[in-house]
Amino acid sequence: MERNNAYAELAKWFEYLNDDCDYEKWSQYLILHLKKYPLSTGLDVGCGGGWFTRAFQKAGYQTTGLDVSAQMLGYAQEQARKEGLRGEYILGDITKIKLPARFDFVSAINDCVNYIPKEKLRLAFKNVRSALNKKGIFFFDISSERKFREKIADTVSVDDREDITYISFNRVDGEKATLDVSLFVKNANGDYSRRDEQHVQYIYKEEEILALLEETGFELIKVEGHLGEEKTQSDRICFWAQKG
């Protein structure tokens, strides 16, 4: 069976299917922390459908979205237009791209870093550092190793709704997780169309991330669980660092 690249089919449905994430609470938590620093411009790496990009824009930050998925960027731009927001969206890979400007902060939210292969993460962090102004802030999260090994490995995830059914067959091999996703989308005539794609993510330990941040010239500000949770109890580990 042929499978498309990650988010080729899922792009327009991603935020809808993740409505249990409470993006509003999540984005406001991040903005509250951003306000501690004198920042005005930002780059949202792996912006996806653009929820956080738009939230930062609404909070007064001139924010650019960056993503490797043309479909995701198309959705992000469409949503920004609907909300009357103006911002730049760039198609590109943080491990390869040379950005035309520098920013006061760079974000990479909601598993973006887990999609970067092990051998490319150092380069990604170096490119983030190059994209930051002096004393710029870099904040991002990863899904924890515990989440991958105890909640994702060898499971099937299903979300069955009136207009779409999402099914993901998940496996973990070593430090790599593969999610084979099928979407069954309801058409206007009541029939369903099947669309398939594959997601590959990489498992990172906290100490790996900390070592790479230090190697690439960042000074750690803090590490915490999602929304300030205790790290050992959280499915998500969140990092705040500053360009040294």
Give yes or no for a contact between 164 and 185, defined as CB atoms under 8 angstroms apart.
Answer: yes
Tokens, residue 226? 């999602």
Convert the pLDDT of each residue in 202-243 to its tens digit.
Answer: 999 999 999 999 999 999 999 999 999 999 889 999 999 999
State the amino acid at position 98 in one-letter form.
Answer: K
CA distance 9 to 21: 20
Give yes or no for a contact between 132 and 105, defined as CB atoms under 8 angstroms apart.
Answer: yes
Give yes or no for a contact between 10 and 197, defined as CB atoms under 8 angstroms apart.
Answer: yes
| pLDDT at 2 (0 to 100) | 42
| pLDDT at 9 (0 to 100) | 84
Location of structure tokens 């090994």: 149
CA distance 8 to 19: 19
Task: Specify the pTM.
Answer: 0.94
Positions in the chain whose pLDDT score sits under 50: 1-3
Q: 63 φ, ψ to 5°?
A: -115, 135
| pLDDT at 235 (0 to 100) | 96
Three-state SS for 134? strand
